[in-house]
Each structure stands twice: as structure tokens, then as C-alpha cells.
């Protein structure tokens, strides 16, 4: 069986944390120093091949088709309708390691996501917490405002996957690709190979909106 596995992944987080920069870099576009304002939602598709453990416990090479969505910041969250989040398999929740406030807001994001997708501890999607702009700390340009252990503690407590710290500016394509592949494998571990929107949740009552309209 070699048909591809399709996932819908959405980038969320406060304004200015680097969502659009990551979105561009993941898609192989250059880093821009200036702000690129995101209006509503931007969506692009990319492909990656990963070795996964199949049902028989054997290693298998599979192609993943990722529909990646960039969104505008928190002030617009409620402008994003519930149906927009429906069928999401992964959420890249981004904060800026030099901006405490962007990390404090993570709980707010979780509450919103719970409303739309269910509790990530139970529902079949993965929230990946990612600290961006680590280059500013490494280059002594700014103080680190959020320690990585705080972020990983937060993940443990909230049922997130800790995606670690990275930089949309200084990570090269290979480094970023390695990270993204790690995140996609985490999603695979929880969601499996079903197409988005078709996955069965163990806790349907907690996950009322799992639609089937995406098949
Ligand atoms: P968004 O509002 O979350 O989409 O954030 P943007 O991607 O528009 O980035 C906001 C600003 O932060 C821009 O000026 C980017 O150039 C800058 N930026 C984004 N990622 C990084 C990073 O990893 N390191 C540094 N130093 N700046 C970054
Ligand atoms: Mg943006």
C-alpha cells in the first residue's frame, strides 16, 4: 500500500511570533526581515517521505501530503470559524522565546483549541508547542524570556508535544525539515494513516465536531 497520508496542519500563536516566517521557510521560501502581514488564512501544500512503523510492525516508507495553514494573530482568532479547525490533525502552536507574553497566551490558545477540536489529551490531533526566534538568544541580542523547561513542563501538563526551540531566521532548510518531519511522525503516532476528518476518536463525546465532510 503506497497511497499517501494526508494531514491538515495549522500554525497558530500570537502576532509577531514568526508564524508566517516559519510557513515560508517550511515551504522553501526565503526569510524576510520585514513583517509580512497575514490576512485571514494562507494555505499551501507540501510533501515529505517518512519511514513509519506499519500495522504489522514493519518499517515502511510513506509519502505525506501536508496541507499547511498560516493564520493571522490572536485578535483575529474568533474570526476563524470552528469549521476552519475541523479536521485539523496537527497544530503548530508558536511562541517567541524572547517574549514572555506570547508564552503566557499559550493557555488561551489551548482553551480556544479545546472548544473547537477537543482536549488534546483525548482527541485525535496533536498540538506541538514550538519556541521560535532562538537565534536572538544565541546571538546575545535579546534575553531568553521563557526557559525551555517551562515550555516542556507546559507540554506535559497540557498534553502537547514539545517541539523544542528553533529559528525561522537561522535554521537552514535541512534543520527545519528534520524538525518538521519529527512533528509529522508525532502526529502519525497518534492519528494514524486515516485521512483527515475520517479518523475515529476514542472519545467521541469529547470531540463532537469530527466531521466527515473532508473525505
Ligand atoms: P507572525 O505575525 O507570527 O506571522 O510573524 P512574522 O513571521 O510576520 O514575523 C514577525 C517578525 O519577526 C518579522 O520581522 C520577522 O522577520 C521576525 N522573525 C520571525 N521569525 C524570526 C526568527 O526566528 N528570528 C528572528 N530574529 N526574527 C524572526
Ligand atoms: Mg503572519
Mean pLDDT of the chain: 86
Point out the ligand nearest to the CA of residue 171. 1
Atom of ligand 1 nearest to the CA of 24: 7
Residue 26's pLDDT is what? 93
Q: Yes or no: say if 125 and 117 are a contact pair by the CB < 8 Å rule.
A: yes
Count of C-beta atoms within a 10 Å radius of residue 202: 9
Task: Looking at the CA of residue 31, tell me the nearest atom of ligand 1.
Answer: 16
Backbone angles phi, psi at 211, to 5 degrees: -85, 170
- pTM for the whole thing? 0.88
Indicate the range of 72-76, 99-103, 183-187 predicted with least confidence. Answer: 72-76
Tell me if 19 CB under 6 Å of ligand 1.
Answer: yes
Residue by residue, DSSP assigns 77-142 as GGGS-HHHHTT--EEEEEEETT-HHHHHTHHHHHHHHHHHH--TTTSS-EEEEEEE-HHHHHTTSS
- Calculate mean pLDDT across residues 12-27: 93
- Written as one string, the DSSP assignment of 79-96 is GS-HHHHTT--EEEEEEE
Mean pLDDT of 17-37: 84
pLDDT confidence band for 202 (50 / 70 / 90): very low
Q: What distance in angstroms lies between residue 209's CA and the mean position of ligand 1's atoms?
A: 33
Please tell me the distance between residue 141's alpha carbon and the centre of ligand 2 in angstroms: 22
What is the three-class DSSP state of 29?
A: coil
**How many angstroms is it from 168 CA to the middle of ligand 1?**
7
Q: Percentage of the chain with pLDDT > 70?
A: 81
- Counting from 1 in the atom list of ligand 1, the atom nearest the Cα of 36 is 8
Q: Which atom of ligand 1 is nearest to the CA of 14?
A: 3
Distance CA 211, CA 190 (A): 18
- The yes-or-no verdict on residue 150 having pLDDT over 90 is yes
212 band by pLDDT with thresholds 50, 70 and 90: very low
Which protein residue has the closest C-alpha to ligand 1 atom 18?
18
Lowest mean pLDDT among 24-28, 73-77, 79-83, 161-165: 73-77
- For range 185-193, the mean pLDDT: 94
From the CA of 96, how far away is ligand 1's center (Å)?
9
Q: What is the pLDDT of residue 89?
A: 97
Q: What is the spatial distance between Cα 27 and Cα 59, in angstroms, rounded to a whole number?
A: 27
Do residues 9 and 67 touch, judged by C-beta distance below 8 A? yes
Residue 103 has pLDDT above 60, yes or no: yes
- Tens of pLDDT, residue by residue over 46-77, are 999 999 987 788 899 999 999 999 987 555 55
Given a contact cutoff of 8 angstroms between Cβ atoms, the answer to whether 94 and 133 are in contact is no
Please say whether the dihedral angle defined by the alpha carbons of residues 13, 15, 18 and 21, taken in this order, is positive or negative. positive
DSSP state of 147: -
Amino acid at each position: 500500500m503506497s497511497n499517501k497520508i494526508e494531514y491538515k496542519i495549522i500554525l497558530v500563536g500570537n502576532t509577531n511570533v514568526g508564524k508566517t516566517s516559519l510557513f515560508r521557510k517550511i515551504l522553501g521560501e526565503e526569510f524576510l526581515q520585514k513583517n509580512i502581514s497575514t490576512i485571514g488564512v494562507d494555505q499551501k501544500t507540501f510533501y515529505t517521505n517518512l519511514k513509519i512503523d506499519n500495522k504489522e510492525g514493519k518499517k515502511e516508507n510513506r509519502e505525506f501530503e501536508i496541507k499547511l495553514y498560516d493564520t493571522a494573530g490572536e485578535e483575529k482568532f474568533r474570526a476563524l470559524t470552528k469549521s476552519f479547525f475541523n479536521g485539523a490533525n496537527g497544530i503548530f502552536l508558536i511562541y517567541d522565546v524572547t517574549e514572555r507574553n506570547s508564552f503566557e497566551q499559550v493557555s488561551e490558545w489551548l482553551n480556544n483549541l479545546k472548544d473547537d477540536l477537543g482536549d488534546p489529551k483525548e482527541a485525535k490531533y496533536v498540538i506541538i508547542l514550538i519556541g521560535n526566534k532562538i537565534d536572538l538568544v544565541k546571538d546575545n541580542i535579546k534575553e531568553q524570556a521563557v526557559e525551555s523547561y517551562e515550555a516542556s513542563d507546559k507540554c506535559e501538563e497540557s498534553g502537547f508535544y514539545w517541539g523544542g526551540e528553533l529559528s525561522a531566521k537561522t535554521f537552514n532548510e535541512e534543520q527545519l525539515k528534520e524538525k518538521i518531519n519529527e512533528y509529522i511522525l508525532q502526529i502519525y503516532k497518534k492519528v494514524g494513516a486515516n485521512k483527515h476528518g475520517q479518523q475515529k476518536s476514542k472519545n467521541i463525546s469529547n470531540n463532537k465536531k469530527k466531521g466527515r465532510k473532508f473525505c
